Amino acid sequence: MKLWGRILWTLLSGSRGRRGAPQGWAPNSWKPRSSLSGQLNATEVVSHWTQVFEQRGIPEARKSSEYIVAHVLGAKTFQSLRPVLWTKPLTPKQLQYIQELCSHRLQRMPVQYILGEWDFQGLSLKMEPPVFIPRPETEELVEWVLEEVAQRPPAVGAQSGPLILEVGCGSGAIALSLLSQLPESQVIAVDKGEAAVRLTRKNAQRERCNEGCLALVPWLYGWTDCEQWLYCWSKKGSFPSWSLKPRVMAYILCSPPPPHLSRLQLQDRIRIVPLDITSEGCWTHLLPWGPIDLVVSNPPYVFHKDMEQLAPEICSYEDLVALDGGEEGMDIITRILTLAPRLLNASGSIFLEVDPRHPELVSSWLQSRPDLRLSLVAVRKDFCGRPRFLHVRKSAA
Ligand SMILES: C[S@@+](CC[C@H](N)C(=O)[O-])C[C@H]1O[C@@H](n2cnc3c(N)ncnc32)[C@H](O)[C@@H]1O
Protein backbone atom coordinates (compact mmCIF):
# COMPACT_ATOMS: atom_id res chain seq x y z
CA MET A 1 0.00 0.00 0.00
CA LYS A 2 3.00 2.21 0.68
CA LEU A 3 4.16 1.75 -2.92
CA TRP A 4 0.74 2.51 -4.31
CA GLY A 5 0.65 5.72 -2.27
CA ARG A 6 4.05 6.80 -3.62
CA ILE A 7 3.02 6.16 -7.22
CA LEU A 8 -0.21 8.03 -6.68
CA TRP A 9 1.68 11.02 -5.33
CA THR A 10 4.04 11.01 -8.33
CA LEU A 11 1.11 10.92 -10.69
CA LEU A 12 -0.79 13.71 -9.04
CA SER A 13 2.13 16.02 -8.47
CA GLY A 14 2.38 17.62 -11.88
CA SER A 15 2.12 16.64 -15.50
CA ARG A 16 5.87 16.67 -16.27
CA GLY A 17 6.60 14.03 -13.69
CA ARG A 18 3.57 12.06 -14.71
CA ARG A 19 4.59 11.93 -18.29
CA GLY A 20 8.09 10.89 -17.45
CA ALA A 21 9.58 13.78 -19.41
CA PRO A 22 13.13 14.76 -18.53
CA GLN A 23 13.33 17.00 -15.50
CA GLY A 24 15.67 19.88 -14.86
CA TRP A 25 16.79 20.59 -18.41
CA ALA A 26 17.73 24.18 -19.16
CA PRO A 27 15.04 26.17 -21.00
CA ASN A 28 15.74 26.11 -24.66
CA SER A 29 16.19 29.12 -26.87
CA TRP A 30 14.22 27.55 -29.72
CA LYS A 31 11.08 29.57 -30.37
CA PRO A 32 8.14 28.16 -32.33
CA ARG A 33 7.37 29.73 -35.67
CA SER A 34 4.45 32.13 -35.50
CA SER A 35 2.32 29.78 -37.67
CA LEU A 36 2.35 27.29 -34.81
CA SER A 37 0.34 29.47 -32.49
CA GLY A 38 -2.88 29.14 -34.53
CA GLN A 39 -5.45 26.33 -34.63
CA LEU A 40 -3.16 23.49 -35.56
CA ASN A 41 -3.98 19.82 -35.51
CA ALA A 42 -1.66 16.92 -34.70
CA THR A 43 -0.92 16.08 -38.35
CA GLU A 44 0.11 19.68 -39.08
CA VAL A 45 2.28 19.86 -35.98
CA VAL A 46 4.03 16.60 -36.93
CA SER A 47 4.75 18.05 -40.40
CA HIS A 48 6.01 21.31 -38.90
CA TRP A 49 8.45 19.65 -36.51
CA THR A 50 9.54 17.12 -39.15
CA GLN A 51 10.55 20.06 -41.33
CA VAL A 52 12.36 21.80 -38.46
CA PHE A 53 14.24 18.60 -37.56
CA GLU A 54 15.20 17.99 -41.21
CA GLN A 55 16.48 21.56 -41.55
CA ARG A 56 18.57 21.14 -38.41
CA GLY A 57 19.96 17.74 -39.54
CA ILE A 58 18.24 15.74 -36.78
CA PRO A 59 18.14 12.02 -37.66
CA GLU A 60 14.78 10.26 -38.02
CA ALA A 61 13.01 13.62 -38.28
CA ARG A 62 9.49 12.34 -38.97
CA LYS A 63 9.63 9.48 -36.48
CA SER A 64 10.92 11.80 -33.75
CA SER A 65 8.18 14.30 -34.43
CA GLU A 66 5.46 11.62 -34.52
CA TYR A 67 6.60 9.99 -31.28
CA ILE A 68 6.61 13.31 -29.44
CA VAL A 69 3.19 14.44 -30.66
CA ALA A 70 1.69 10.99 -29.99
CA HIS A 71 3.17 11.00 -26.48
CA VAL A 72 1.64 14.38 -25.65
CA LEU A 73 -1.72 13.09 -26.88
CA GLY A 74 -1.49 9.96 -24.77
CA ALA A 75 -0.49 7.33 -27.31
CA LYS A 76 2.66 5.36 -27.97
CA THR A 77 2.68 5.93 -31.73
CA PHE A 78 1.06 8.43 -34.05
CA GLN A 79 -0.64 5.59 -35.92
CA SER A 80 -2.24 4.30 -32.73
CA LEU A 81 -3.95 7.64 -32.00
CA ARG A 82 -7.69 7.67 -32.41
CA PRO A 83 -8.12 8.98 -36.00
CA VAL A 84 -10.25 11.88 -34.75
CA LEU A 85 -7.19 13.22 -32.90
CA TRP A 86 -5.15 13.50 -36.11
CA THR A 87 -7.31 16.44 -37.21
CA LYS A 88 -8.54 17.89 -33.90
CA PRO A 89 -6.95 21.29 -33.05
CA LEU A 90 -4.39 21.05 -30.26
CA THR A 91 -4.70 23.20 -27.15
CA PRO A 92 -2.08 25.90 -26.42
CA LYS A 93 -0.87 23.75 -23.50
CA GLN A 94 -0.36 20.72 -25.75
CA LEU A 95 1.48 22.85 -28.33
CA GLN A 96 3.72 24.27 -25.63
CA TYR A 97 4.51 20.83 -24.24
CA ILE A 98 5.30 19.51 -27.74
CA GLN A 99 7.62 22.45 -28.28
CA GLU A 100 9.38 21.79 -24.99
CA LEU A 101 9.98 18.13 -25.87
CA CYS A 102 11.03 18.95 -29.45
CA SER A 103 13.59 21.42 -28.13
CA HIS A 104 15.32 18.51 -26.37
CA ARG A 105 15.38 16.61 -29.66
CA LEU A 106 17.01 19.63 -31.31
CA GLN A 107 19.78 19.16 -28.75
CA ARG A 108 20.12 15.57 -30.03
CA MET A 109 18.57 13.97 -26.95
CA PRO A 110 17.34 10.47 -27.91
CA VAL A 111 13.56 10.21 -28.20
CA GLN A 112 13.55 7.45 -25.56
CA TYR A 113 14.92 9.85 -22.92
CA ILE A 114 12.58 12.64 -24.05
CA LEU A 115 9.51 10.44 -23.65
CA GLY A 116 10.91 8.91 -20.47
CA GLU A 117 9.76 5.44 -21.42
CA TRP A 118 10.22 2.85 -24.15
CA ASP A 119 8.85 -0.56 -25.02
CA PHE A 120 10.97 -3.70 -24.98
CA GLN A 121 9.46 -7.13 -25.59
CA GLY A 122 6.01 -5.82 -24.72
CA LEU A 123 7.13 -4.20 -21.46
CA SER A 124 6.92 -0.46 -21.02
CA LEU A 125 10.18 0.54 -19.33
CA LYS A 126 11.21 3.82 -17.80
CA MET A 127 14.22 5.42 -19.53
CA GLU A 128 16.54 7.85 -17.77
CA PRO A 129 19.83 9.30 -18.97
CA PRO A 130 22.58 8.12 -18.82
CA VAL A 131 21.36 4.52 -18.50
CA PHE A 132 21.80 2.61 -21.77
CA ILE A 133 18.69 2.57 -24.00
CA PRO A 134 17.81 -1.01 -25.01
CA ARG A 135 18.30 -1.58 -28.73
CA PRO A 136 15.93 -3.55 -30.98
CA GLU A 137 18.53 -6.24 -31.75
CA THR A 138 18.72 -7.11 -28.06
CA GLU A 139 15.14 -8.33 -28.36
CA GLU A 140 16.56 -11.01 -30.68
CA LEU A 141 18.99 -12.08 -27.96
CA VAL A 142 16.06 -12.44 -25.54
CA GLU A 143 14.10 -14.44 -28.12
CA TRP A 144 17.05 -16.79 -28.65
CA VAL A 145 17.37 -17.41 -24.92
CA LEU A 146 13.63 -18.11 -24.70
CA GLU A 147 13.85 -20.59 -27.61
CA GLU A 148 16.73 -22.41 -25.93
CA VAL A 149 14.92 -22.56 -22.60
CA ALA A 150 11.81 -23.94 -24.32
CA GLN A 151 13.87 -26.71 -25.96
CA ARG A 152 15.65 -27.82 -22.79
CA PRO A 153 14.23 -30.84 -21.04
CA PRO A 154 13.33 -29.84 -17.48
CA ALA A 155 15.99 -31.04 -15.02
CA VAL A 156 14.94 -34.13 -13.08
CA GLY A 157 13.21 -33.11 -9.87
CA ALA A 158 13.42 -29.41 -10.76
CA GLN A 159 10.56 -27.38 -9.32
CA SER A 160 11.22 -24.17 -11.17
CA GLY A 161 12.53 -22.54 -14.35
CA PRO A 162 16.16 -21.66 -15.00
CA LEU A 163 18.11 -19.42 -12.65
CA ILE A 164 19.57 -16.66 -14.82
CA LEU A 165 22.41 -14.20 -14.20
CA GLU A 166 22.35 -11.02 -16.28
CA VAL A 167 25.63 -9.09 -16.35
CA GLY A 168 25.16 -5.36 -17.03
CA CYS A 169 21.39 -5.02 -16.62
CA GLY A 170 21.12 -1.29 -17.57
CA SER A 171 17.40 -0.46 -17.52
CA GLY A 172 16.51 -4.08 -16.72
CA ALA A 173 15.23 -4.74 -20.24
CA ILE A 174 16.71 -8.23 -20.68
CA ALA A 175 16.19 -9.40 -17.10
CA LEU A 176 12.58 -8.21 -16.83
CA SER A 177 11.52 -9.43 -20.26
CA LEU A 178 12.96 -12.89 -19.54
CA LEU A 179 11.17 -12.96 -16.20
CA SER A 180 7.89 -11.87 -17.72
CA GLN A 181 8.04 -14.73 -20.23
CA LEU A 182 9.48 -17.37 -17.91
CA PRO A 183 7.07 -17.31 -14.97
CA GLU A 184 9.01 -19.98 -13.07
CA SER A 185 12.41 -18.34 -13.44
CA GLN A 186 14.49 -16.14 -11.20
CA VAL A 187 17.08 -13.59 -12.29
CA ILE A 188 20.11 -12.08 -10.60
CA ALA A 189 20.76 -8.78 -12.39
CA VAL A 190 24.07 -7.04 -11.76
CA ASP A 191 25.45 -3.72 -12.93
CA LYS A 192 28.29 -1.53 -11.78
CA GLY A 193 26.39 1.69 -12.55
CA GLU A 194 24.36 3.12 -9.66
CA ALA A 195 21.92 4.76 -12.07
CA ALA A 196 21.41 1.43 -13.86
CA VAL A 197 20.76 -0.45 -10.62
CA ARG A 198 18.24 2.21 -9.55
CA LEU A 199 16.47 2.16 -12.90
CA THR A 200 16.22 -1.64 -12.99
CA ARG A 201 14.64 -1.49 -9.52
CA LYS A 202 12.16 1.17 -10.67
CA ASN A 203 11.29 -0.84 -13.77
CA ALA A 204 10.77 -4.01 -11.75
CA GLN A 205 8.30 -2.11 -9.53
CA ARG A 206 6.70 -0.42 -12.51
CA GLU A 207 6.02 -3.70 -14.25
CA ARG A 208 4.28 -4.98 -11.17
CA CYS A 209 2.11 -1.85 -11.17
CA ASN A 210 1.37 -2.20 -14.90
CA GLU A 211 0.28 -5.80 -14.42
CA GLY A 212 -2.25 -4.62 -11.86
CA CYS A 213 -3.50 -1.75 -13.98
CA LEU A 214 -3.81 -3.85 -17.14
CA ALA A 215 -6.06 -6.36 -15.51
CA LEU A 216 -8.24 -3.56 -14.12
CA VAL A 217 -9.20 -2.39 -17.61
CA PRO A 218 -12.61 -4.10 -17.63
CA TRP A 219 -13.58 -2.19 -14.47
CA LEU A 220 -13.06 1.05 -16.34
CA TYR A 221 -15.32 0.62 -19.36
CA GLY A 222 -17.63 3.57 -19.73
CA TRP A 223 -15.19 6.04 -18.22
CA THR A 224 -14.64 8.52 -21.03
CA ASP A 225 -11.27 9.51 -19.59
CA CYS A 226 -10.04 6.11 -20.65
CA GLU A 227 -11.06 6.37 -24.28
CA GLN A 228 -7.55 6.77 -25.69
CA TRP A 229 -6.25 4.18 -23.27
CA LEU A 230 -8.81 1.65 -24.38
CA TYR A 231 -8.33 2.56 -28.02
CA CYS A 232 -4.58 1.92 -27.75
CA TRP A 233 -5.14 -1.26 -25.84
CA SER A 234 -7.58 -2.66 -28.40
CA LYS A 235 -5.27 -1.72 -31.30
CA LYS A 236 -1.85 -2.60 -30.06
CA GLY A 237 -1.94 -3.61 -26.46
CA SER A 238 0.09 -0.53 -25.63
CA PHE A 239 -0.28 1.18 -22.28
CA PRO A 240 -0.15 4.98 -22.09
CA SER A 241 -0.75 4.99 -18.35
CA TRP A 242 0.04 8.67 -17.86
CA SER A 243 -2.79 9.69 -20.18
CA LEU A 244 -5.38 8.72 -17.58
CA LYS A 245 -6.82 11.62 -15.65
CA PRO A 246 -5.70 11.75 -12.00
CA ARG A 247 -9.21 10.77 -10.79
CA VAL A 248 -9.11 7.50 -12.72
CA MET A 249 -5.48 6.83 -11.87
CA ALA A 250 -6.17 7.50 -8.19
CA TYR A 251 -8.97 4.94 -8.30
CA ILE A 252 -6.72 2.32 -9.89
CA LEU A 253 -3.75 2.93 -7.66
CA CYS A 254 -5.73 3.03 -4.43
CA SER A 255 -7.18 -0.37 -5.14
CA PRO A 256 -4.65 -3.05 -4.20
CA PRO A 257 -4.42 -5.51 -7.07
CA PRO A 258 -6.33 -8.73 -6.52
CA PRO A 259 -3.90 -11.63 -5.91
CA HIS A 260 -4.15 -13.13 -9.40
CA LEU A 261 -2.99 -9.82 -10.90
CA SER A 262 0.44 -10.14 -9.38
CA ARG A 263 0.95 -13.50 -10.97
CA LEU A 264 4.10 -12.46 -12.85
CA GLN A 265 5.67 -11.12 -9.67
CA LEU A 266 8.67 -9.71 -11.48
CA GLN A 267 9.83 -7.78 -8.46
CA ASP A 268 9.82 -10.86 -6.26
CA ARG A 269 11.80 -12.97 -8.71
CA ILE A 270 14.66 -10.56 -9.39
CA ARG A 271 17.69 -9.79 -7.24
CA ILE A 272 19.32 -6.55 -8.36
CA VAL A 273 22.92 -6.34 -7.23
CA PRO A 274 25.33 -3.41 -7.61
CA LEU A 275 28.50 -5.19 -8.70
CA ASP A 276 31.56 -4.48 -10.82
CA ILE A 277 32.44 -7.79 -12.40
CA THR A 278 36.03 -6.68 -12.93
CA SER A 279 36.52 -6.27 -9.18
CA GLU A 280 38.65 -8.79 -7.32
CA GLY A 281 36.68 -11.78 -5.98
CA CYS A 282 33.33 -10.41 -7.20
CA TRP A 283 32.13 -13.91 -8.05
CA THR A 284 32.09 -14.78 -4.34
CA HIS A 285 29.08 -12.42 -3.98
CA LEU A 286 27.22 -14.44 -6.59
CA LEU A 287 28.26 -17.92 -5.52
CA PRO A 288 25.70 -18.29 -2.69
CA TRP A 289 22.82 -17.92 -5.20
CA GLY A 290 24.16 -20.53 -7.62
CA PRO A 291 24.57 -22.78 -9.37
CA ILE A 292 23.28 -20.70 -12.23
CA ASP A 293 21.70 -22.19 -15.36
CA LEU A 294 22.18 -19.32 -17.79
CA VAL A 295 24.35 -16.22 -18.01
CA VAL A 296 22.99 -13.56 -20.36
CA SER A 297 24.69 -10.30 -21.25
CA ASN A 298 24.73 -7.44 -23.68
CA PRO A 299 28.07 -6.20 -22.39
CA PRO A 300 30.02 -3.10 -23.40
CA TYR A 301 31.60 -4.40 -26.62
CA VAL A 302 32.44 -1.40 -28.83
CA PHE A 303 36.10 -1.36 -29.91
CA HIS A 304 37.72 1.61 -28.19
CA LYS A 305 38.87 3.09 -31.50
CA ASP A 306 35.24 3.10 -32.77
CA MET A 307 33.94 5.12 -29.83
CA GLU A 308 34.64 8.45 -31.52
CA GLN A 309 32.36 7.51 -34.42
CA LEU A 310 29.29 7.17 -32.23
CA ALA A 311 26.34 9.49 -32.93
CA PRO A 312 25.93 12.65 -30.79
CA GLU A 313 22.73 11.11 -29.35
CA ILE A 314 24.92 8.38 -27.81
CA CYS A 315 28.06 10.36 -26.90
CA SER A 316 26.24 13.21 -25.20
CA TYR A 317 23.56 11.32 -23.29
CA GLU A 318 24.40 7.64 -22.76
CA ASP A 319 26.93 6.32 -20.26
CA LEU A 320 30.03 5.49 -22.31
CA VAL A 321 30.98 2.83 -19.76
CA ALA A 322 28.00 0.90 -21.13
CA LEU A 323 29.57 0.84 -24.58
CA ASP A 324 33.37 0.92 -24.44
CA GLY A 325 34.69 -2.65 -24.42
CA GLY A 326 38.38 -1.73 -24.53
CA GLU A 327 40.91 -2.14 -27.31
CA GLU A 328 39.17 -5.03 -29.12
CA GLY A 329 35.82 -4.71 -27.35
CA MET A 330 36.66 -7.88 -25.40
CA ASP A 331 37.39 -6.56 -21.87
CA ILE A 332 34.03 -7.40 -20.29
CA ILE A 333 33.31 -10.34 -22.62
CA THR A 334 36.47 -12.16 -21.47
CA ARG A 335 35.73 -11.26 -17.86
CA ILE A 336 32.27 -12.87 -18.14
CA LEU A 337 33.76 -15.96 -19.81
CA THR A 338 36.37 -16.25 -17.06
CA LEU A 339 33.83 -15.93 -14.22
CA ALA A 340 30.98 -17.96 -15.66
CA PRO A 341 32.41 -21.50 -15.27
CA ARG A 342 32.62 -21.03 -11.48
CA LEU A 343 28.98 -19.97 -11.29
CA LEU A 344 27.30 -22.15 -13.92
CA ASN A 345 25.91 -25.61 -13.37
CA ALA A 346 27.51 -28.55 -15.23
CA SER A 347 25.73 -27.91 -18.54
CA GLY A 348 25.11 -24.20 -18.13
CA SER A 349 25.13 -21.73 -21.02
CA ILE A 350 26.21 -18.17 -21.74
CA PHE A 351 24.37 -15.98 -24.26
CA LEU A 352 26.10 -12.80 -25.39
CA GLU A 353 25.38 -9.92 -27.72
CA VAL A 354 28.60 -8.87 -29.48
CA ASP A 355 30.13 -6.99 -32.40
CA PRO A 356 30.24 -8.86 -35.77
CA ARG A 357 34.05 -9.16 -35.38
CA HIS A 358 33.70 -10.98 -32.06
CA PRO A 359 32.61 -14.51 -33.01
CA GLU A 360 36.08 -15.17 -34.45
CA LEU A 361 37.90 -13.35 -31.63
CA VAL A 362 35.91 -15.15 -28.93
CA SER A 363 36.39 -18.52 -30.61
CA SER A 364 40.18 -18.16 -30.69
CA TRP A 365 40.27 -16.70 -27.17
CA LEU A 366 38.34 -19.75 -25.89
CA GLN A 367 40.80 -22.09 -27.64
CA SER A 368 43.60 -20.35 -25.75
CA ARG A 369 41.76 -21.03 -22.45
CA PRO A 370 40.94 -24.78 -22.37
CA ASP A 371 40.99 -24.56 -18.54
CA LEU A 372 37.60 -22.79 -18.69
CA ARG A 373 35.95 -25.79 -20.39
CA LEU A 374 33.76 -23.53 -22.52
CA SER A 375 32.92 -23.97 -26.19
CA LEU A 376 31.27 -21.67 -28.68
CA VAL A 377 28.35 -23.82 -29.82
CA ALA A 378 26.35 -21.38 -31.97
CA VAL A 379 26.46 -17.95 -33.57
CA ARG A 380 23.30 -16.15 -34.62
CA LYS A 381 22.80 -13.26 -37.02
CA ASP A 382 20.77 -10.13 -36.28
CA PHE A 383 17.98 -8.76 -38.50
CA CYS A 384 20.64 -7.10 -40.68
CA GLY A 385 22.36 -10.44 -41.28
CA ARG A 386 25.41 -9.67 -39.11
CA PRO A 387 26.76 -12.33 -36.70
CA ARG A 388 25.87 -10.71 -33.38
CA PHE A 389 24.87 -13.33 -30.81
CA LEU A 390 26.92 -16.11 -29.24
CA HIS A 391 25.93 -19.24 -27.37
CA VAL A 392 28.82 -20.59 -25.29
CA ARG A 393 28.32 -23.83 -23.33
CA LYS A 394 30.11 -25.30 -20.38
CA SER A 395 31.24 -28.85 -21.01
CA ALA A 396 31.61 -31.64 -18.51
CA ALA A 397 34.97 -32.02 -16.76
C1 LIG B 1 25.35 -2.26 -23.37
S2 LIG B 1 24.75 -1.94 -21.77
C3 LIG B 1 23.44 -3.14 -21.69
C4 LIG B 1 22.31 -2.74 -20.80
C5 LIG B 1 21.08 -3.66 -20.89
N6 LIG B 1 21.40 -5.01 -20.56
C7 LIG B 1 20.49 -3.61 -22.29
O8 LIG B 1 20.72 -4.51 -23.09
O9 LIG B 1 19.78 -2.63 -22.57
C10 LIG B 1 26.02 -2.60 -20.75
C11 LIG B 1 25.78 -2.47 -19.25
O12 LIG B 1 26.90 -3.07 -18.58
C13 LIG B 1 27.24 -2.32 -17.44
N14 LIG B 1 28.66 -2.57 -17.11
C15 LIG B 1 29.75 -2.08 -17.73
N16 LIG B 1 30.87 -2.51 -17.13
C17 LIG B 1 30.46 -3.31 -16.09
C18 LIG B 1 31.15 -4.04 -15.09
N19 LIG B 1 32.48 -4.04 -15.02
N20 LIG B 1 30.43 -4.72 -14.17
C21 LIG B 1 29.08 -4.71 -14.21
N22 LIG B 1 28.36 -4.04 -15.15
C23 LIG B 1 29.04 -3.34 -16.08
C24 LIG B 1 26.97 -0.88 -17.85
O25 LIG B 1 26.79 -0.06 -16.71
C26 LIG B 1 25.72 -1.05 -18.73
O27 LIG B 1 24.55 -0.86 -17.98
CA of 190 relative to ligand 1 center, distance in Å = 8
Q: Which of 112, 132, 143, 187 most suits a substitution to test ligand 1, by most atoms within 8 Å of the C-beta?
A: 132
Task: Please give the model's pTM, rounded to 2 decimal places.
Answer: 0.82
Answer yes or no: is the C-beta of 322 below 6 A from any ligand 1 atom: yes
What's residue 289's pLDDT?
A: 87
At 370, which amino acid appears? P
Answer yes or no: is the C-beta of 329 below 6 A from any ligand 1 atom: no
Answer yes or no: is the C-beta of 61 below 6 A from any ligand 1 atom: no
Specify the ligand 1 atom closest to the Cα of 278.
Answer: 19
Answer yes or no: is the C-beta of 138 below 6 A from any ligand 1 atom: yes
Answer yes or no: is the C-beta of 277 below 6 A from any ligand 1 atom: yes
HEC string of the chain equals CHHHHHHHHHHHCCHHHHHCCCCCCCCCCCCCCHHHHCCCEHHHHHHHHHHHHHHCCCCCHHHHHHHHHHHHCCCCCCCCCCHHHHHCECCHHHHHHHHHHHHHHHCCCCHHHHHCEEEECCEEEECCCCCCCCCHHHHHHHHHHHHHHHHCCCCCCCCCCCEEEEECCCCCHHHHHHHHHCCCCEEEEEECCHHHHHHHHHHHHHHHHHHHHHHCHHHHCCCHHHHHHHHHHHHHCCCCHHHCCHHHHHHHHHCCCCHHHHCCCCHHHEEEEECCCCCCCCHHHHHHHCCEEEEEECCCCECHHHHHHCCHHHHHHCCHHHCECCCCCCHHHHHHHHHHHHHEEEEEEEEEECCCCHHHHHHHHHHCCHHHCEEEEEEEECCCCCEEEEEEEECCC
Q: Which of 166, 191, 277, 304 most suits a substitution to test ligand 1, by most atoms within 8 Å of the C-beta?
A: 191
Answer yes or no: is the C-beta of 191 below 6 A from any ligand 1 atom: yes
Per-residue pLDDT of the chain (397 residues), as tens digits, is: 333 333 333 322 223 222 333 433 333 334 444 445 568 999 999 999 999 999 999 999 999 999 999 999 999 999 999 999 999 999 999 999 999 999 999 999 999 999 999 999 999 999 999 999 999 999 999 999 999 999 987 665 556 799 999 999 999 999 999 999 999 999 999 999 999 999 999 999 986 555 545 445 444 433 433 455 544 444 444 444 444 455 555 555 555 544 434 456 788 899 999 999 999 988 888 988 889 999 999 999 999 999 999 999 999 999 999 999 999 999 999 999 999 999 999 999 999 999 999 999 999 999 999 999 999 999 999 999 999 999 999 987 6
CA of 58 relative to ligand 1 center, distance in Å = 27
Q: Which one, of 335, 347, 257, lies nearest residue 294 by Cα?
A: 347
CA of 196 relative to ligand 1 center, distance in Å = 8
CA of 359 relative to ligand 1 center, distance in Å = 20
Answer yes or no: is the C-beta of 339 below 6 A from any ligand 1 atom: no
At 126, which amino acid appears? K
Answer yes or no: is the C-beta of 192 below 6 A from any ligand 1 atom: yes
What's residue 234's pLDDT?
A: 44
Nearest CA to ligand 1 atom 14: 168
CA of 300 relative to ligand 1 center, distance in Å = 6
**Whether 351 contacts 294, CB under 8 Å:** yes
What's residue 209's pLDDT?
A: 53
Answer yes or no: is the C-beta of 298 below 6 A from any ligand 1 atom: yes
CA of 73 relative to ligand 1 center, distance in Å = 33
